[in-house]
Homo-oligomer: A and B are copies of this chain.
Amino acid sequence: MPSGMTQSPEPTSPPATPTSTDVARLAGVSRATVSYVLNAQAAGRVSTRTQDRVRAAAEELGYVPHAAARTLRAGHSGLVLLTTPATPIPRIGALFGDFLMELQGALHQLGYTSVWHGPVAGAGEQAARAWAELRPAAVLALPGTGLTPSAVELLKRSGTRAVLTLGMQPVAGAHALLLDQEMLGARAGTHLLERGRRRIGVIMPTESGLDLFSVPRLAGVRAAATLETGTHVEPLTLDCTEESAAELAARWPRLGLDSLFAYNDEYAMLVMRAFQDAGLAIPGDLAIVGADDLLLARLLRPRLTSVHFDTIPTARIVGLVDRAIREPETAPETHQLTRVVVAARDSG
């Protein structure tokens, strides 16, 4: 007993974490009364004087209820789990980070404790096992989480009331919140075609995890191109380095392209710099379109045309989460979260 106090008069002095039993003893009531009072179920059951005594005792002891015990008794926890992608992680843009923060705040206001689970070893069902141990009320799988139908099944069997995915395509059994990357690519393609460009290069980053986004974006550009005759779409892999960008710039004349969809604004900046250093004119020799519409886009010269998602409607999401938790039997729903708009500027 490494207590700091030298003289402890009571022989039984465990400075352990106080439980509701300790509160009850100090207040001179039963544990049941404490529970009723502290959970605001005391109306008409406990006299106000007793309520005050209980609250004072809890305060004095610094009582904090034990979430595990409460969860065990209740059969469910108020936890909403956000999962981390198994792959090293697609770089989470500033917009997406803000969105997550807002989402968590809204969930908190509804009484849920939202928690972002760290990365786990396995994928699919094995990862789901780790999440299921916490018996969360809901699991919201972020894009890049390898959520399989069998993982959804496992989660539901262990009592998870709602499983939702935030991502590009639905997963069987789970509610789907869709981020339509294909539409984003389509808008970029349409924009370039409307400006008379016909041979579009599309940057495909090699960064692990980003293919989740880049592949459907490319598909979107292709889809847009089929609506116009005499078009060509060329995927161009690119490392996130100056060297790779310079190499692309050197190779550009031989490619016979007239425009570029650069995956996002940061990659757009990278290649734009390389092209300019190589003596190519923008938008004269080639048009460039980015994505995300960061402040960055307006700071470049020429100013960068960029396509981005409208702000994600947090309220609708937490509404769905709440409803899904309350009525777990409702059939999985699919929601398109975003509308895509192009901010046209000088680069193409």
Cβ contacts under 8 Å, A107 to chain B: 118
A251 interface contact, C-beta 8 A: no
- CB distance B159 to A17 under 8 Å? yes
Q: Please determine whether B108 and A120 come into contact, CB atoms closer than 8 angstroms.
A: yes
| Cβ–Cβ contact A118 & B129, under 8 A | no
Give the Cβ gap from A127 to chain B, nearest Cβ, in Å: 11
Q: Which of A25-33, A37-45, A198-206, A291-299 contacts its partner?
A: A291-299
Q: Mark A206-249, 1 if CB is under 8 A from B, else 0.
A: 00000000000000000000000000000000001110000000
Query: How many copies of the shown chain assemble into the complex?
Result: 2
**In the complex, what residues of B have CB within 8 A of residue A296's CB?**
266, 269
Known contacts A66-B135, A133-B66: does B118 contact A114 (CB below 8 Å)?
yes
Q: Kindly state the interface size class of chain A when it binds its partner.
A: 35 or more
A284 CA / B159 CA spacing, docked (Å): 66
Chain B CB within 8 A of A97 CB: yes
Scan A105-130; emit 1 where CB is below 8 A from any B CB, else 0. Answer: 10110000111111111000000011
Q: What residues on B are CB-neighbors of A108 within 8 Å?
A: 118-121
Contact between chains at B298 and A133 (CB < 8 Å): no
Measured CB to CB, the nearest residue on chain B to A85 is B101
Chain A contacts with B in 270-309, Cβ cutoff 8 A: 270, 273, 295-296, 298-299
Is A255 close to B, CB under 8 A? no
User: With an 8 A cutoff between CB atoms, is A145 at the interface?
Assistant: no
Interface flags for A46-89 (1: CB within 8 Å of B; 0: not) read: 00000000000000001011111101100001000000100011
Q: Which residue of B has the minimal Cβ distance to A117?
A: B115
* Distance of A64 from chain B, by nearest CB (Å): 4
A174 at the interface (CB under 8 A from B): no
Could you say which of A62, A64, A121, A240 has the most chain B C-beta atoms within 10 Å of its C-beta? A64
Chain A stretch 85-99: residues in CB contact (< 8 A) with chain B: 88-89, 91-92, 94, 97
Q: Is the CB of B94 within 8 A of A91?
A: yes
Q: Which residues of B contact A158 (CB under 8 A)?
A: 17, 62, 64
Q: Which residues of B are found within 8 Å of A88, using beta-carbon distances? A: 101
Name A's B-contacting residues (CB within 8 A): 2, 15-18, 62, 64-69, 71-72, 77, 84, 88-89, 91-92, 94, 97, 101, 104-105, 107-108, 113-121, 129-130, 132-135, 154, 157-159, 240-242, 266, 269-270, 273, 295-296, 298-299, 329
Q: List 14 contacting pairs A-B, 8 Å CB cutoff, sorted by A.
A: A2-B329, A16-B159, A17-B159, A64-B132, A66-B133, A67-B68, A67-B135, A68-B69, A68-B77, A91-B94, A92-B97, A108-B120, A113-B117, A241-B295
